[in-house]
Chain A
Amino acid sequence: MLKQTEGSHAIAECVALCRPEVICAYPITPQTHIVEGLGEMVKAGDLKHCEFINVESEFAALSVAIGASAAGARTYTATASQGLLFMAEAVYNAAGLGLPIVMTIGNRAIGAPINIWNDHTDSMSMRDAGWIQLYAETNQEAADLHIQAFRLAEELSMPVMVCVDGFILTHAYERLDIPTQEQVDAYLPPFEPRQVLDTNEPVSIGAMVGPEAFMEVRYLAHHKQMRALELIPRLSAEFRQVFGRDSGGLMRTYRAEDAETIVVALGSVNGTIKDVIDELRDEGCAIGAAAIISFRPFPSEALHELLSHAKRLVVIEKSLAVGIGGIVSHNLRMVLSGISLHAYTVVAGLGGRAITKASLRSLFERALRDELEPLTFLDLNQAAVNRELEREKAQRRSGPSAENILRDLAGGAL
């Protein structure tokens, strides 16, 4: 049903349609509206056969989810930013145990300096934890991906993170199509766990594994993700059959067929990128884009194929690998074997810095002229940075740099 709704609420409604049995909640901006929405549905009795548990930390949230999932319940939680880091040990554990938990990440920066706005540093920090990571471009896709995520998680017995840009998507209101219960039931069968804590068939889960078997167990986790490379497009195609629209898949290209320059990005920024590409295409530039939806598993083959005829690759990243540059571009290097092209890493939008059409257009124009540095910080206020560097040079006790920059930008020369 079409309705004007908030991204978070649409996600909550879609999660509810998946008939979750245990939901754990701990507040952290910007994912809070999602669990609030679900809590309301449980409390009002609209979402039946579901336990909604308010826990004391994100570490507990995912730990409760681990217990519930191991006991055979379809389990959901959501977090962001510091919360994801606080549960980091359990993030790895849930994946290592092969528990099909679905978790939304309302993507947000990591402090210090503390910052509640959007970038991808949080989920990127957990990219190798063993979870499948799906990045939504729009709110419709964010909502839809959750339905696919439960199916994917449960078929593979592996947890799935659905990454949704904080505020840009979570708090945006737009017209969305919320599926019916019949549609979701047709797509998502009841949860049949591969392993379960059952008093009739006792098993030990989470035993100590030594060097004789650890490699094999870890390899199996990788193997499962390789299987997901086949499963994700299949589930997306099935989704289209049931729900009548395209959502998900490994990646989505845009005007990339004959493109000499390919822009790669994750999440909502792809909307702006597409607008700029349209403008440049109108002017005759051979430029296209690819939105990576599945960052884990990484669609290496598809990206290799896409990039094999390109001359330039521009990676727009909402995260920074301090000391080297980009994370997504670093991953893309793995697929560039045998391909000769100019590769540009652009770190953009950190801590919610707006990525505007004007900035992207100017950036792409420079890329088309091969005038970009290998690593660019989009819209960096270099003058403010230089003034802080000067302060640091001038005196040993120059003070906390975040506060210095803020004071500087406010015009105070205290």
Chain B
Amino acid sequence: MTMQQIKFYQTGTFTVGNRLLDADQRSVQANMERTNSLNSGHRACQGCGEALGARYAIDAAMRASNNQVIACNATGCLEVFSTPYPETSWQIPWIHSLFGNAAAVATGVAAAMKVKGRKDVRIIAQGGDGGTTDIGFGCLSGMFERNDDVLYICYDNQAYMNTGVQRSSATPPAARTATTMAIGAEPGNAFGQGKNLPLIAMAHGIPYVATASVAYLRDLEAKVSRAMTVRGARYIHILVPCPLGWGAAPHDTIKLARLAVETGLFPLFEAEHGEVTSSTKIRRRVPVEDYLKPQKRFAHLFGKTPAVSTLAHIQETADRNIRKYGLLEKHD
């Protein structure tokens, strides 16, 4: 491993731990020989959570597979910002076909590798929440049901950001988007029943499902690495804040991703064959307001007359998650 002299500094979060670890325990990104699968120079916005998540996820998959990864990308921000030619940022074999078929294309690549006896080559499909929970849902469910040897990664920024911030089925209640305007009696996105893709993936009984966050990058790497030890259909759902779509400062991407976890709105867990096997405990529980307030998409909740009942409704969701996934340490 190539070593780099680094200075110790306090980042205000748990990331400091990485610098104090033995070299072989450090993160993939701390390694100078990391693959930079999604290389620098792409056109993502400042503070893009998706670019960060994809970089960590794919590099971790590369390390876990001895650099034998083929990626199939859905249409969306990740595809667009990474590939204007001749400046492709992908250092790995990569294909983009359509918005709604990444999982099926990956099935095809996996079938080709199987028939050619290339068990060493691992297939990843990836897309945003629109490409995963909406238009690509049929193909994704088919891939799960057949238990095809594909790791599907959803980078969830909770709306169609590439087309200008329209609502998806992953958009949270009350959020303002270009198609759920902050006007009228019930401003923002309606309170539907939601579409929890990790739970739907678990309902298929696939061998591995996990949620991850760009605020917990070691955890994200560990989950990708774990997924790569498993054969069959696997699903990782990563929350990736979008400064543009969420109306947040680019420097708040990590902070918001962490607050989503600490409020209980985005639980971090792993599941195998449909059963939750672990969840990340919340160290410092925070009210949902702390997460919502810095985001302009929720600004209408905090006007002259705060939307008390709406906030209470969102808090209920967070509280339910905390109970459901056992997100708080038990203090007897």
Does A associate with B in a complex? yes
Q: A interface vs B, CB < 8 Å?
A: 21-22, 24, 49-51, 53-57, 59-60, 63-73, 75, 89-90, 93, 97, 197-199, 201-210, 213
Contacting pair B70 A59 (CB below 8 A)? no
A56-B141, A56-B142, A199-B70 known; 6 new pairs, CB 8 Å cut-off, are A66-B105, A68-B108, A73-B112, A199-B92, A202-B90, A206-B95
Other-chain contact of A208, B72, B85, B101, B109 (Cβ < 8 Å): B85
How long is the Cα–Cα vector from A1 to B51 in the complex, in angstroms?
A: 58
| Minimum CB distance partner of B141 in chain A | A56
Contacting pair B70 A64 (CB below 8 A)? no
| Minimum CB distance partner of B94 in chain A | A204
Q: How far is the CB of A150 from chain B (nearest CB, A)?
A: 16
Q: How far is the CB of A130 from chain B (nearest CB, A)?
A: 14
* Residue numbers in B under 8 Å from A198 (CB-CB): 93
Known contacts A59-B139, A60-B142, A199-B121: does B101 contact A66 (CB below 8 Å)?
yes
Q: How far is the CB of B20 from chain A (nearest CB, A)?
A: 34
* Residue numbers in A under 8 Å from B83 (CB-CB): 204, 206-208
How long is the Cα–Cα vector from A324 to B106 in the complex, in angstroms?
A: 42
Contacting pair B95 A205 (CB below 8 A)? yes
* Residue numbers in A under 8 Å from B114 (CB-CB): 51
Contacting pair B100 A208 (CB below 8 A)? no
Say if the beta carbon of B315 comes within 8 Å of chain A: no
Contacting pair B97 A21 (CB below 8 A)? no
With an 8 Å Cβ cutoff, the count of chain B residues facing the other chain is 43
Q: How far is the CB of A84 from chain B (nearest CB, A)?
A: 16
Q: How far is the CB of A308 from chain B (nearest CB, A)?
A: 44
Known contacts A56-B139, A65-B108, A66-B108: does B70 contact A197 (CB below 8 Å)?
yes
Q: How many A-B residue pairs have CB under 8 A?
A: 154
Say if the beta carbon of B96 comes within 8 Å of chain A: yes
How long is the Cα–Cα vector from A75 to B80 in the complex, in angstroms?
A: 28
Other-chain contact of B115, A21, A66, A203 (Cβ < 8 Å): A21
Q: How far is the CB of B134 from chain A (nearest CB, A)?
A: 14
* Residue numbers in A under 8 Å from B141 (CB-CB): 56
Contacting pair A70 B98 (CB below 8 A)? no
Contacting pair B88 A60 (CB below 8 A)? no
Say if the beta carbon of B91 comes within 8 Å of chain A: yes
Contacting pair B111 A22 (CB below 8 A)? yes
Q: How far is the CB of A3 from chain B (nearest CB, A)?
A: 29
* Residue numbers in B under 8 Å from A50 (CB-CB): 115
Say if the beta carbon of B236 comes within 8 Å of chain A: no
Say if the beta carbon of B270 comes within 8 Å of chain A: no
Say if the beta carbon of B331 comes within 8 Å of chain A: no
* Residue numbers in B under 8 Å from A24 (CB-CB): 108
Known contacts A22-B112, A59-B100, A205-B94: does B107 contact A64 (CB below 8 Å)?
yes
Q: Which of A21, A71, A198, A205 has the most CB of B within 10 A?
A: A71
Q: How far is the CB of A219 from chain B (nearest CB, A)?
A: 17
Contacting pair A202 B111 (CB below 8 A)? no
* Residue numbers in B under 8 Å from A73 (CB-CB): 108, 111-112, 115-116
A-B contact pairs, 7 of them (CB 8 A): A22-B111, A51-B114, A66-B108, A67-B108, A71-B112, A199-B68, A210-B84
Contacting pair B69 A199 (CB below 8 A)? yes
Q: How far is the CB of A182 from chain B (nearest CB, A)?
A: 23
Q: How far is the CB of B93 from chain A (nearest CB, A)?
A: 4
How long is the Cα–Cα vector from A202 to B93 in the complex, in angstroms?
A: 4
Q: How far is the CB of A211 from chain B (nearest CB, A)?
A: 12
* Residue numbers in A under 8 Å from B80 (CB-CB): 208
1/0 per residue B70-86: CB within 8 Å of A? Answer: 10110000011001110
Other-chain contact of A56, B96, B108, B121, B145 (Cβ < 8 Å): B145
How long is the Cα–Cα vector from A22 to B148 in the complex, in angstroms?
A: 14
Q: How far is the CB of B86 from chain A (nearest CB, A)?
A: 9
* Residue numbers in A under 8 Å from B112 (CB-CB): 21-22, 51, 67-69, 71-73, 75
Say if the beta carbon of B248 comes within 8 Å of chain A: no
* Residue numbers in B under 8 Å from A207 (CB-CB): 83-85, 88, 96
Contacting pair B95 A59 (CB below 8 A)? no
| Minimum CB distance partner of A64 in chain B | B108
Chain B positions 252-272 with a Cβ under 8 Å from a chain A Cβ: none
Contacting pair B97 A68 (CB below 8 A)? no
Q: How far is the CB of B40 from chain A (nearest CB, A)?
A: 16
| Minimum CB distance partner of A65 in chain B | B108
Contacting pair A93 B70 (CB below 8 A)? no
Say if the beta carbon of B195 comes within 8 Å of chain A: no
| Minimum CB distance partner of B85 in chain A | A207
How long is the Cα–Cα vector from A204 to B70 in the complex, in angstroms?
A: 10
| Minimum CB distance partner of A202 in chain B | B93
How long is the Cα–Cα vector from A323 to B90 in the complex, in angstroms?
A: 48
Contacting pair B108 A71 (CB below 8 A)? yes
Other-chain contact of B104, A63, A75, A206, A213 (Cβ < 8 Å): A63
* Residue numbers in B under 8 Å from A90 (CB-CB): 97-98, 101
Other-chain contact of B109, A60, A71, A210 (Cβ < 8 Å): A71
* Residue numbers in A under 8 Å from B104 (CB-CB): 55, 59-60, 63-64, 66-67
How long is the Cα–Cα vector from A370 to B148 in the complex, in angstroms?
A: 62
Contacting pair A59 B138 (CB below 8 A)? yes
| Minimum CB distance partner of A99 in chain B | B97
How long is the Cα–Cα vector from A197 to B116 in the complex, in angstroms?
A: 13
